[in-house]
Structure 1
Amino acid sequence: METKEKGSYKAHVLVLPFPAQGHITPMLQFCKRLVSRGVKTTLVNSIYVSKSIHVDDLNSSINVEAISDGFDEGGWAQAESPEAYLTKFCAVGSRDLANLVKKLDDAGRPVDALVYDGFLPWALDVSKEFGLVGAVFFTQSCAVNNIYYHVHKGLLSLPLSDSTVSIPGLPPLEPWETPSFVYIYGSYPGFYHMVVNQFSNIDKADLVLFNNFYELEKETVDWMAKLWRVKTIGPTLPSMYLDKRLEDDRGYDINLFKPKSAMCMNWLNEKPRGSVVYVSFGSMAEIDAEQMEEVAWGLKESMFYFLWVVRASEEAKLPEKFTDDVSERGLIVTWSPQLEVLAHESVGCFVTHSGFNSVLEAISLGVPLVTMAQWTDQGTNAKYVEDVWGMGVRTRQDEKGIVRRRVLELCIREVMEGQKGKEIKENAIKWKNLAKEAVDEGGSSDKNIDEFVAELIRP
């Protein structure tokens, strides 16, 4: 159906993230880039997420719709297992997504393309049913997804042997440097099938989009480009932290947790340049009590100022009276405005779980890293941080799988004031500049987004 409204924009794109903070955030930012190019975008969340999110100041040009994942009252947590969640989401979500496409068409807002999260491959089948351009969006690194692809195709046999893992486009990897679902064979079977099944129908996708920039993983991108039409379109950070071309784009706008923004920023404003260690393990990682205690005392014994994000669900694991004991040097909050924190001049390094969003934010803002990988893709990301990008150090676990306080303390000291820290800081600035260049006008990611938009414009 063609209406006057259709003539006011170049194309209409549905964007469907997996319903988790680390997936919604980059895909929402991609929406903003599309809107700035005259493309109408509709972000599709699950009903449960739509009821749960904190919306700060969402760009009014981005439409928001909701479909059911089959668990409208509790989302992922309501399902009895990951397998049950994914199975029901596929059945219910496919139906609701198809109905949404029909509804928008009937309302005079026909859809031209569907950009869907790699964790939801069934969405491609819906796009093909309606003759839409179907583009898969990966929120994890090219390297990690290259490993999963090789597992899916049977090119990397599991369980792994003790020998070095060799995969085209990647440096040699020790088995423990692969994603945990690969290295620890049989762990989290629901998650394992989710990440491997991303490639079940990828050959039918019109485009394969990655939330990174070409220069960051060019060897892997070049190898993947032999298989699919790959485009790097990141880093998907708010524009004011990178190219500054979208003046109203200062935040992620949607949060599943409410940040303690004023408290964090006021505290940071009182600290000297480069003096603060920022610590966060993301929105999903659960740290056991023994590890939490080791982190706590490692931070205290480092003698640096620290800002530590401990989610409300994790606070009980802190050592007794620890918050009071460190009140002169440390601030502990349940959630932070992470981009604002990382961009603050008082922050000298970031102790992170190595989730790809956090790593990409640190790269884009030039913040050196101390990595404490927990599971999933994080061990591979940490490998790249230390050995490929040279902008941080990895902590090492003991035989119990615990990073001890002395190990963490020494890693923080190395980055903050050690000889190796100087080189790390230089590399961090280098990657920051390359990230900015990628999204600047004419940069690699900027061109790729323009090419994506050009393909959507129908005569």
Structure 2
Amino acid sequence: MEKGKVHVVVLAYHGQGHINPMIQFSKRLAAKGIHVTVATTLSNTKAIQSASSSIVFESIYDDCAEGGVAGPGGFRGFLDRFEASGTRNLTHLIRDSERPVKCLVYDANITWASSVASHMGVDRAAFFTQSCAAIASYYPMHCELSEVTPSVPAFSLPGLPEIGLPNLPSLGPDTGRYPPIIRYLLQQFDNSVNADWVLFNSFDKLEEDVVSWMSKLWPVRTIGPTLPSIYLDNRVEGDDDYGFNIHKPNTDTCMKWLDSKETGSVVYISFGSNANLNTEQTVELAAALKQSNNSFLWVVQPSEESKLPTNFHDKNSDKGLVVQWCPQLEVLAHHAVGCFISHCGWNSTMEAISLGVPMVAMPQILDQMTNAHFVEYVWQVGTMTKSDEKGVTRRDEIKRCINEIMEGERGQEIRKNAIRLKVLAKEAIDEGGSSDSYIDEIISHLMVA
């Protein structure tokens, strides 16, 4: 079969952190001649500004009309509506396609996707948007909740901090040993057990030991980093941006300001698209930045601005810039940025690693705790802040971590490690690299299947 006749449907979950890596994977497939249809929610399709001409976007659920996560029944209601509408419309999309669909690539969080693929007789690829290590940390909980004997011993993660739990509108009653959000996350294991491939936005040399352990459970393939090609190998024509943003970035303001700064002099701060620092933590962070010797660029979304100290913008305009959103990849790639204070969401972590930027890790919830642990203790490309008994990281601690990277002797070693991982990330996705080879392997299978 010719490549151009191979049709893959990619089923993406809602939200920027989920859809961006799956769109980038879709671009990689399309650049190799595969026809790709990205099926997702209507709000996602509306937020997409650009992508490959070989990719078609189809809405399988009108979350705009039904209020999305904020609609009736909260998060649980959204999931139920997405499943009912998505199952029906995805089945129609696969059945009625003029180009026969060979494979469904689905976000592992979408628990009903594997059943649709099985029913339609197409290959299945579960796509994880969290790190291999984070998923490995969930494995003992999955076995306990499912009342199954682990097929392999749990992966050892000594010293891993406890995971925090997010505040969601609703996910059902909080009963049993594990809260609803954990039970929901653990369904990813059931959704992947029969998959033909289990894909991760990572690369072998980044999580080598975890990947080796996980390969005993699943047919794991690391296909990352899933950054726009211009930041890695430049082999995907015109791929200089994700093409999806839930907020409009202050690009000109950010880049002109950074251009005026010296190399490695700026601390960049962002807590992702779902940032929700409490007021006390915001005030402590603001004080640390004010007292620091470094210039800073801080992303504070409109919903968070009221938590800032009074007149913070005006009082610190000489050394800092506060914006509502920024082009993060361009910022991290800029020579002026010396470190990145981050919540350690997996996309942000992979971006920092791929662009060689040291990190001050301030994790908040779930997989961020695992990612932050690896940033300091495994990859040694940053330092993780410590919180007090109230769960707040104080200004002196934040300043300590900034100084350790920007001024301290350990910072030199951290920067060397960051550059080393940057090189490995590029090698992984370069032609013939491990991640690129895995993508070719999947395509070759689909061409003869």
Q: Compared with structure 1, are the counterparts of its residues 186 and 252 closer, same or farther at alpha carbon in structure 2 (3 Å cutoff)?
A: farther
Give the secondary-structure state (helix, strand or coil) at the position aligned to 2:400: helix
- Residue aligning to 1:3: none
Give the secondary-structure state (helix, strand or coil) at the position aligned to 1:390: coil
Aligned runs of 1:95-244 on 2, under 5 Å?
A: 95-104=88-97, 108-154=98-144, 168-174=154-160, 176-178=161-163, 180=165, 189-244=179-234
- Residue aligning to 1:33: 28
Query: 2:39 is matched by which residue type in structure 1?
Result: V
1:331 partnered with 2:324:
no
Q: Quote the Cα distance in structure 2 between the aligned partners of 1:290 and 1:32.
A: 42
Give the secondary-structure state (helix, strand or coil) at the position aligned to 2:273: coil
Give the secondary-structure state (helix, strand or coil) at the position aligned to 1:216: coil
Q: Quote the Cα distance in structure 1 between the aligned partners of 2:413 and 2:266.
A: 19
- Residue aligning to 1:367: 357
8 Å Cα contact 1:69/1:93 also seen in 2: no
1:48 to 43, 50, 60: 43
**Unaligned residue ranges in structure 1 (runs of 5+):** 1-5, 158-165
**Shift, 1:202, TM fit:** 1.8
1:407 to 397, 404, 419: 397
8 Å Cα contact 1:177/1:383 also seen in 2: no
1:290 to 253, 273, 280: 280
1:58 partnered with 2:51:
yes
Q: Compared with structure 1, are the counterparts of its residues 216 and 179 closer, same or farther at alpha carbon in structure 2 (3 Å cutoff)?
A: farther
Per-residue deviation, residues 265-320 of structure 1 (Å, max 9, x unmatched): 11101100000000000011311111111111111111211000011111111111
8 Å Cα contact 1:71/1:79 also seen in 2: no
Q: Quote the Cα distance in structure 2 between the aligned partners of 1:449 and 1:70.
A: 32
Query: 1:37 is matched by which residue type in structure 2?
Result: K
- Residue aligning to 1:161: none
Q: Quote the Cα distance in structure 1 between the aligned partners of 2:233 and 2:424.
A: 11
- Residue aligning to 1:301: 291
- Residue aligning to 1:94: 87
Give the secondary-structure state (helix, strand or coil) at the position aligned to 1:212: coil
Percent identical across equivalent pairs?
49
Per-residue deviation, residues 186-230 of structure 1 (Å, max 9, x unmatched): 799342222111112322111100000001111111111112111
**Shift, 1:154, TM fit:** 1.5
Aligned runs of 1:15-34 on 2, under 5 Å?
A: 15-34=10-29
Q: Quote the Cα distance in structure 1 between the aligned partners of 2:378 and 2:65.
A: 42
**Shift, 1:178, TM fit:** 4.5
Q: Quote the Cα distance in structure 2 between the aligned partners of 1:454 and 1:10.
A: 13
**Unaligned residue ranges in structure 2 (runs of 5+):** 167-173
Q: Quote the Cα distance in structure 2 between the aligned partners of 1:145 and 1:247.
A: 33
**Shift, 1:150, TM fit:** 2.4
8 Å Cα contact 2:27/2:51 also seen in 1: no
In the comparison of the two structures, how many residue pairs are matched? 438
8 Å Cα contact 2:30/2:52 also seen in 1: no
**Shift, 1:35, TM fit:** 0.6
- Residue aligning to 2:9: 14
TM-score (ref. length: structure 1): 0.91
Q: Quote the Cα distance in structure 1 between the aligned partners of 2:198 and 2:423.
A: 25
Aligned runs of 1:420-459 on 2, under 5 Å?
A: 420-458=410-448
Query: 1:86 is matched by which residue type in structure 2?
Result: L
Q: Quote the Cα distance in structure 2 between the aligned partners of 1:427 and 1:185.
A: 44
Query: 2:184 is matched by which residue type in structure 1?
Result: M
1:80 partnered with 2:73:
yes
**In terms of mean alpha carbon deviation, does 60-69 or 117-126 score higher?**
60-69
Q: Quote the Cα distance in structure 1 between the aligned partners of 2:411 and 2:177.
A: 35
Q: Quote the Cα distance in structure 1 between the aligned partners of 2:6 and 2:233.
A: 24
Per-residue deviation, residues 88-128 of structure 1 (Å, max 9, x unmatched): 32222111211221232xxx222111100010021111011
Give the secondary-structure state (helix, strand or coil) at the position aligned to 1:264: helix
8 Å Cα contact 1:81/1:190 also seen in 2: no
**Shift, 1:87, TM fit:** 2.5
Q: Compared with structure 1, are the counterparts of its residues 419 and 312 closer, same or farther at alpha carbon in structure 2 (3 Å cutoff)?
A: same
**Shift, 1:54, TM fit:** 5.0
Query: 1:270 is matched by which residue type in structure 2?
Result: S
CA RMSD of aligned residues (A): 2.2
Q: Quote the Cα distance in structure 2 between the aligned partners of 1:251 and 1:120.
A: 26
Q: Quote the Cα distance in structure 1 between the aligned partners of 2:432 and 2:278.
A: 46
Give the secondary-structure state (helix, strand or coil) at the position aligned to 2:432: coil
Q: Quote the Cα distance in structure 2 between the aligned partners of 1:187 and 1:54.
A: 40
Q: Quote the Cα distance in structure 2 between the aligned partners of 1:185 and 1:429.
A: 46
Give the secondary-structure state (helix, strand or coil) at the position aligned to 1:287: coil
- Residue aligning to 2:170: none
Q: Quote the Cα distance in structure 1 between the aligned partners of 2:348 and 2:153.
A: 25
8 Å Cα contact 1:44/1:67 also seen in 2: yes
Give the secondary-structure state (helix, strand or coil) at the position aligned to 1:215: coil
Q: Quote the Cα distance in structure 2 between the aligned partners of 1:81 and 1:206.
A: 33
Give the secondary-structure state (helix, strand or coil) at the position aligned to 1:154: helix
Query: 1:38 is matched by which residue type in structure 2?
Result: G
Q: Compared with structure 1, are the counterparts of its residues 191 and 218 closer, same or farther at alpha carbon in structure 2 (3 Å cutoff)?
A: same
Q: Quote the Cα distance in structure 2 between the aligned partners of 1:46 and 1:412.
A: 39
Q: Quote the Cα distance in structure 2 between the aligned partners of 1:409 and 1:372.
A: 12
